Chain A
Amino acid sequence: MAKQIFTLNVNGRDHEVYTEPNQSLLEVVRDELRLTGAKEGCGTGDCGACTVLVDGRIVTSCLVLAPDAAGREITTIEGLADGEKLHPMQQAFIDHGSVQCGFCIPGMILSSVALLEENPAPTRDEIRRGIAGNLCRCTGYRKIVEAIESVAGS
């Protein structure tokens, strides 16, 4: 099928993209827009490394067709900081030593930010369930949970 032109709003900016319509949002964000924070882990929505926000809610961008995201507000990890000032969740992950290899962290942080939007004072169990769609093979999750707790409590 021929390539198509459509407009994606990513991190507050409209981008015209020209691509085959069966490309995933993840492929377009990484390969066309060169925003490489979102990662492809499994490609089937299981690992959460490709998590981005669409209209403020987390989705696995490997299972969203890019044309279906036209007209929506997409936020990737690159759009979270305010200029040079990191988002409080990003800073908390640094302060708590929550990052090891880093592959899962962009998705993990977006899931954490969205969790606190939906539930500003989660219990530890709610935090663990809230990030259960994001797999981390390094950390054992403990310092990630502590970072989220510190932002929730501040």
Chain B
Amino acid sequence: MQPIQDYARSITRRHFFGQAGVGIGAAALSSLMTGQTAQASGGLPGLPHFAPKAKRAIYLFMAGAPSQIDLLDHKPKLNELFDKDLPDSIRQGQRLTTMTSGQARFPLAPSKFKFQQHGDSGAWVSELLPHTAKMVDDLAIVRSVNTEAINHDPAITYICTGHQLPGRASLGAWLSYGLGSMNDDLPSFVVMTPSWTGRKDAQALYNRLWGAGFLQSKYQGVSLRSKGDPVLYLSNPPGVSSQLRRRMLDRLAKYNERTFVSLGDPETEARIDQYEMAFRMQTSVPDLTDISNEPQHILDMYGPDATKPGTFAASCLLARRMAERDVRFVQIFHRGWDQHGNIGGDLPDQARDIDQPCFALIQDLKRRGLLDDTLVIWGGEFGRTCYCQGKLTRENYGRDHHPRCFSVWMAGGGIKGGVVHGQTDDFSYNITENPVHINDLNATILQCLGIDHKRLSYRVQGLDITLTGVLEQAPVKAILA
């Protein structure tokens, strides 16, 4: 019997669970530490706020801003207006980036790619996304997403953390903080940054996009890397076998128990648990990333890149394996979408990178019954202009940043499939119907996961900060199942 330890443990638990948000700082409830039975642990009391439709989410983030006009927002009228000027009545004095604000004119650039309607919903999809086109009846396509930011760093920081400047918690950190983890042996928030095949000069990412901001650092996303250790410092150093590591941990635990007996600090006990969890991760992470048991037909479904580590396809496959293991939130940042020029050359490559894997991921989840409670989101940080940046021909052109409208799709838990929501004008410049601000989008994501976005907050410098900001935002009911 260890009465002191047991007592302190019970105190600790009571302390953590009783005063979460206040006293949670002391301790053992990392985003990594939770029940093995898909019973969330480590989250806040009272969460989820209501029965969630999705238990987990996978966010396929197209960093750099994909061109909605060439992918999902079909604008046939632009064909007649090739090289005509963007009417002032459409631009309405909208501020432009200084990359094109000095252009003498804003010639309209119709998409060179063919669009067709697909599925029962009749959604228009570009020829660049043939696989996505096959599954439109599973998707809710939102064509009216908008933001205020017009440059990448502020815009991507905004959509990922709810604020244009660094310092806030990311979506995944909020989920870990609020909902806790469902897997004892894996991080609850995992990030992947795969390779891309478009223009090599890609927009940067920033650790803050999956950072914890003002929340404790244990809520930050853990990068799953394709080279070296999949999780930082996962493997033992040369000369240390798993057996030896076990012996080391046992000795360490003995010392630490003794420290605990003499000083009585519950942090010491928590630390012993963390070391055990680290040891388990040394098995669970390699097990996660080892795809040698995936059958060929599954690999084929994800396409030829599936077996190439570090590709978007391989990342999607891993995302599915994480969904199976109840990792709460997986975010894949695919770069290279910033086509100021050479859309004709680069966009098909970028689309090829992601189209088949996205399709495969949805099918794979569906087949395993996981799509019902897994939310999948696809989108970037803003849209691109209908007018050309640089040289315009029918075959090639560039597009500048456009915050006023862009397209996103969602699928899975909580989402109504086969819906096309929101309407833009003939130029894909202004929204004419059902605008969805990026904060609405985030509110929708939270809603699917059982969170009232207004009630998940954290006090920082006197402000109750939420992911979705202070203005009135609402989940998009029309796309909710």
- Binding between chains A and B: no
User: Which chain A residues have a beta carbon within 8 Å of chain B's beta carbons?
Assistant: none
User: Which chain B residues have a beta carbon within 8 Å of chain A's beta carbons?
Assistant: none
